[in-house]
Amino acid sequence: MIPSTLIVGLDDAPPIPMQIGTPEEGNFRGYEVDLLEEVARRLGVRLRYRRAYWSVIVDELEAGDIDLVCSAATVTEERRRQADFCEPHLNLTLAVVTRDDLTEVGTSYAGLRVGLRRGTTAEKFARSHGVSDPAMLCESNQEMYDELSAGNLDAIIDDSPIAAHFAHNTPGLRYAGALPGTNGAYAIMVRKGNVELVNAINQILGEIGHDGTLAMLRARWFNTAGVV
């Protein structure tokens, strides 16, 4: 039986524009916020949010302390061993962001000072493709892009929706392009074996995909390049 209140795990470093602000401060908004609220409305349940570092919320999901995780969670085989995924709600690639003054930088990052978020698919990809010693490895997107703007980094490898948002909303930064062969998708993670909740969410995702609600949410939050 699906509980009347679902506890949702969120990354303590909000992945803008998937999530902006915090529930505690009353300024919580973003693509995944709208998506979760629509899912909850159609399920007839309330949402309660739990913020923590990524590794903590995944551990809590495995332990059954929270019901789902929706925080720019890319579907990977490794994560499938920890949790069940609902159907994807957003496709993406990995992408490179650089500064306007580095006109020669494209999607090749060899020899550059590269910034990465810890524990992400971007970190895993970069480390397996020549970035053995990143110039910055941190928990916060905002901190990382601030360092790029300040000239302390040459490039950031990130998920394309997040990369596109920062590139188009931060003066002096440029979206250099998507990395070939890095297609992926975001999906809601549910505690392994909770088939009833997965099926209920999947049914709603199908409904909002067919009635245009999902397309409306994507258009609202992703009016720049970076979503495929």
Half-sphere exposure of 28 (CA within 13 A, CB side): 21
Q: What is the Cα–Cα distance from 129 to 76, expressed in whole angstroms?
A: 18
| pLDDT tops 80 at residue 223 | no
pLDDT given at position 216: 95
- Taking 80 as the threshold, does the pLDDT of residue 29 lie above it? yes
Residues 46 and 24 in one domain: yes
Return the structure tokens found at 217: 């949410």
Whether the CB-CB separation of 134 and 116 falls below 8 Å is answered with: yes
Same domain, 157 and 209: no
pLDDT at 224 over 80: no
pLDDT value at 212 more than 50: yes
pLDDT tens profile 154-204? 999 999 999 999 999 999 999 999 999 999 999 999 999 999 999 999 999
Number of domains in the chain: 2
Report yes or no on 226 lying in a domain. no
pLDDT at 25: 84
Which structural domain range is residue 10 located in?
5-90+185-221
Cβ-based neighbours of 73, under 8 Å, separated by 6 or more: 79, 85, 186, 187, 188, 189
pLDDT classification of 18: cutoffs 50, 70, 90 = very high
Name the band, by pLDDT with cuts 50, 70 and 90, for residue 23. confident
Is there a single domain that holds both residue 173 and residue 190? no
- Indicate the pTM of the whole model: 0.91
The pLDDT value recorded for residue 12 is: 87
Side chain identity, residue 192: K
Residue 228's pLDDT band, with cuts at 50, 70 and 90, is very low
CB count, 10 Å around CB of 130? Answer: 11
- Torsion-angle region of 111 (φ positive above 0: left; ψ -120 to 50: alpha; else: beta): left
Reported as a single tens digit per residue, the pLDDT across 71-90 is 999 999 999 999 999 999 99
The mean per-residue pLDDT over the stretch 17-28 comes to: 89
* Domain presence at residue 130: yes
For residue 38, give the CATH number of its domain.
3.40.190.10
- pLDDT (tens digit, 9 = 90+) per residue, 91-149? 999 999 999 999 888 778 888 999 999 889 999 999 999 898 999 999 888 999 999 99
Q: Are residues 167 and 207 in the same domain?
A: no
DSSP string, the chain: ---SEEEEEEESS--TTTSBS-TTTT--BSHHHHHHHHHHHHHT-EEEEEEE-HHHHHHHHHHTSSSEE-SS-B--HHHHTTEEE---SEEE-EEEEEETT-TT-SS--TTS-EEEETTSHHHHHHHTTT-SS-SEEES-HHHHHHHHHTTS-SEEEEEHHHHHHHHHHSTTEEEEEEPTT--EEE--EEETT-HHHHHHHHHHHHHHHHSSHHHHHHHHH--SS---
Higher pLDDT, 109 or 32: 32
Q: Is the pLDDT of residue 225 over 50?
A: no
Residue 226 has pLDDT above 80, yes or no: no
82 and 190 assigned to the same domain: yes
